[in-house]
Structure 1
Amino acid sequence: MAEVILQGINKNFGETPAVSDLDLVIADGECVVLLGPTGAGKTTTLRLIAGLERPDHGRILIGGYDVAKEAPAGRDVAFVFQQYSLYPHLSVYDNLAFPLRSPARRLDKNEIDRRVREVARMVRIDHKLDNRSTRLSGGEMQRVAIGRALVRRPAIYLMDEPLSSLDAKLRADLRLELKRIQKELGSTLLYVTHDQIEAMTMADRIGILTEGRLAQIGTPREIYSNPANVHVAARLGQPHINLFPANLLPDSKIPAGTQTIGARTEHLDITLGGHVNAHVAWVEHLGDQNHLHIRLGDCKLTTLANPRLPVKPGDPIGLALRNPLYFGADGNRVV
């Protein structure tokens, strides 16, 4: 494994900027997740590191070597794509062994067999080694695709939303498997997703991309608790952060220059009886918790509530702020 450094990376497609002034350091053995909407530049960043695209400006260093002009084969990276991309005519064993049979690897048959079986056990597909890849479930095919990257032991693993086509239960299972494997191997991993739960549960650090620029990077807790701006604040949190004008709720601690207040669930106190300033518009029952949709003046807010809270649509409630986030007119945090 190796440290990967991106310095001043720019990439345009025609007149459209895909990545702009990107500086990023991925430490040896670290899992960094790039989070952002479609078109934010996440996949382009992966392709630039892999050598599938060339930067217009900037340097890409892998293990201290500038590889910006190297061909993909010379970069020692492994790429897991969003789709499985397996060879349908080959067995699971041969799909896993395929990268090791390249003339550039020159591994003997026994070493190939050892690595294939070791990785197959790691991704829990060893009972399917003789099956054709077309006779696997979606989850099994994705395990094979991930395993095919793992057998390589490259400087860095690049993963482009590899779980996005799976059902929710399987995604939850596989993201835990991926994190376990990454920690066991001590591997360097750059993972791209638009799913905030994947980012929060898998990342050592999360990088928030917007329109090709890195808006903020930090641990999941730092990004969630101390977002640099409104865009970053809106990327994490379920339900989404509530954003409303600064004068909507009384708050004696509002800093000068505040235009917008951001309130997550933990920033809102709900009281029944006494002072009333809002009412319940709708209640979503989710089993262990409720999503409470609240009407406050002309604004709609959403928060989590204990399912035993005795409220129903139309009920009046009191709403107060507790240490919310403050944003200025430019969308940046007001400290």
Structure 2
Amino acid sequence: MTYMLMKVKRLTKTYHGQKVLSDLSFAVAKGELISLVGPSGCGKSTLLRCLAGLSSGTSGTIELNGEDITNRSTEKRPIVMMFQQPLLFPHLTILQNVTYGLKYQKPKVKKSERIERGLGILEKVEIASLAHRYPNEISGGQQQRVSLARALILNPALLLLDEPFSSLDPPLRTSLRKWVREFLKKEGVTALFVTHDREEAMVIGDRIAVMKDGTFQQFATPEEVYSQPENATVAGLFSEGLYNNRKFIQANKLKLTTVNKLLPADNERLSAVVEHKVMKYGYPFFRVSIPSIKQTVVIQSNQSFQENEAVDVYYKISDVSLITNL
């Protein structure tokens, strides 16, 4: 039976009469990585702040390791939060930055043990050679590894990451997120990871929580969120395909053809216009707009189509998924 490290029950946060978080209930298993995704202002960062104790919920409870920590102060919660910026002390070496939190732990940690643990965690995050450098002497990606090491050296029960890669350039961001997932899984760390990036959420999360207006729209595995969106919000944010009149069709089930071509009886069609062609992974893809439902979609096709050409998008009726909530 899976051990649920954290249980959140009916957590609500009201600010100036407006609900920022609305009746959130969920559980996180020990060692599980959860990606939180949603538009700006949907409550992702507020949720992390409430879990960390940096902000108080208006109602609801938070349990960690079977204990109610709802009213505990931040310093008494076994939770560490990583922010968008590394926030390293510029006058301290990398080793001193990493071990800084141990100086104030109770019971007190001896200096020799702090150094030993600091070098150990730097070795784990593969930057032990940088121990005696200063933050301005290392790269942005290395600074984020230092920030992660500083968080994990405190052995938190739960790690919260608030868009830690947002300031990095795309190639570095791509390589670092893969490394972070592998590292956290190897170390058995339980974490909640906030991101705006759909691909990043899928790479890092064992499950994904899609948020809008302070509520969960769907809380499921990456595969389920992508291929079986529960409503139009999730389909629009996460899935690739078309949704219309409570129907969702994945992009890989869509095909292109010339206008009014005879189709089998078990197919449906939508009129579309080709916007442009792009080559990806050695195949031609076409971005088409569908005026009747005001959507665009990218479809792979080996046929030849021109920009602004009228076409039909078609699909098998059996490939349609019904969306329960709009």
Distance of aligned partners of 1:303 and 1:324 in 2 relative to their CA distance in 1, 3 Å threshold: farther
What pairs up with 1:264-279 in 2 under 5 angstroms?
264-271=250-257, 275=261, 278-279=272-273
> Given the alignment, which residue of 1, 15, 18 partners 1:16?
18
The answer to whether residue 296 in structure 2 is matched with residue 310 in structure 1 is no
Letter in 2 for 1:263: I
Question: Helix, strand or coil: the match of 2:11?
Answer: strand
CA deviation vs aligned residue, 1:19-46 (integer Å, no higher than 9, x gap): 1101010111111111111111111111
Q: Distance in 1 between matches of 2:171 and 2:206?
A: 23
User: How far 1:5 moved relative to its partner?
Assistant: 1.1
> Given the alignment, which residue of 77, 80, 83 partners 2:79?
77
Q: Distance in 1 between matches of 2:284 and 2:129?
A: 41
CA deviation vs aligned residue, 1:84-130 (integer Å, no higher than 9, x gap): 11111111110011111214252233332232122212222212111
Letter in 2 for 1:319: V
> Given the alignment, which residue of 261, 264, 285 partners 2:247?
261
What pairs up with 1:198-213 in 2 under 5 angstroms?
198-213=200-215
Distance of aligned partners of 1:293 and 1:122 in 2 relative to their CA distance in 1, 3 Å threshold: same
Letter in 2 for 1:88: P
Any unmatched runs of 5+ in structure 1? 245-258
CA contact (8 A) 2:4 2:27 kept: no
User: How far 1:53 moved relative to its partner?
Assistant: 0.6
Q: What is aligned with 1:150?
A: 152
Q: What is aligned with 1:25?
A: 27
CA contact (8 A) 1:159 1:191 kept: yes
Distance of aligned partners of 1:304 and 1:148 in 2 relative to their CA distance in 1, 3 Å threshold: farther
Question: Helix, strand or coil: the match of 1:3?
Answer: strand
Q: Distance in 1 between matches of 2:243 and 2:63?
A: 40
CA contact (8 A) 1:267 1:321 kept: yes
Q: What is aligned with 2:265?
A: none
Distance of aligned partners of 1:288 and 1:101 in 2 relative to their CA distance in 1, 3 Å threshold: farther
Q: Report the TM-score, using the length of structure 2 for normalisation.
A: 0.88
The answer to whether residue 326 in structure 2 is matched with residue 324 in structure 1 is no
What pairs up with 1:27-66 in 2 under 5 angstroms?
27-66=29-68
The answer to whether residue 122 in structure 2 is matched with residue 106 in structure 1 is no
Q: Distance in 2 between matches of 1:47 and 1:72?
A: 10
Q: Distance in 2 between matches of 1:317 and 1:90?
A: 62
Q: What is aligned with 1:251?
A: none
Q: Distance in 1 between matches of 2:8 and 2:170?
A: 33
Q: Distance in 2 between matches of 1:86 and 1:29?
A: 27
> Mean alpha-carbon deviation: is it higher for 37-46 or for 310-319?
310-319
> Mean alpha-carbon deviation: is it higher for 260-269 or for 272-281?
272-281
Distance of aligned partners of 1:241 and 1:108 in 2 relative to their CA distance in 1, 3 Å threshold: same
Distance of aligned partners of 1:273 and 1:40 in 2 relative to their CA distance in 1, 3 Å threshold: closer
Any unmatched runs of 5+ in structure 2? 263-270
Q: Distance in 2 between matches of 1:300 and 1:34?
A: 25
Q: What is aligned with 1:252?
A: none
Q: What is aligned with 1:249?
A: none
CA contact (8 A) 2:255 2:300 kept: no
CA contact (8 A) 2:230 2:323 kept: no
Question: Helix, strand or coil: the match of 2:40?
Answer: coil
Q: What is aligned with 1:292?
A: 286
CA deviation vs aligned residue, 1:146-167 (integer Å, no higher than 9, x gap): 1111111111001101011111
CA contact (8 A) 1:264 1:303 kept: no
Letter in 1 for 2:42: A
CA deviation vs aligned residue, 1:249-271 (integer Å, no higher than 9, x gap): xxxxxxxxxx2433331120224
Q: What is aligned with 2:161?
A: 159
CA deviation vs aligned residue, 1:70-92 (integer Å, no higher than 9, x gap): 11110111110111111111111
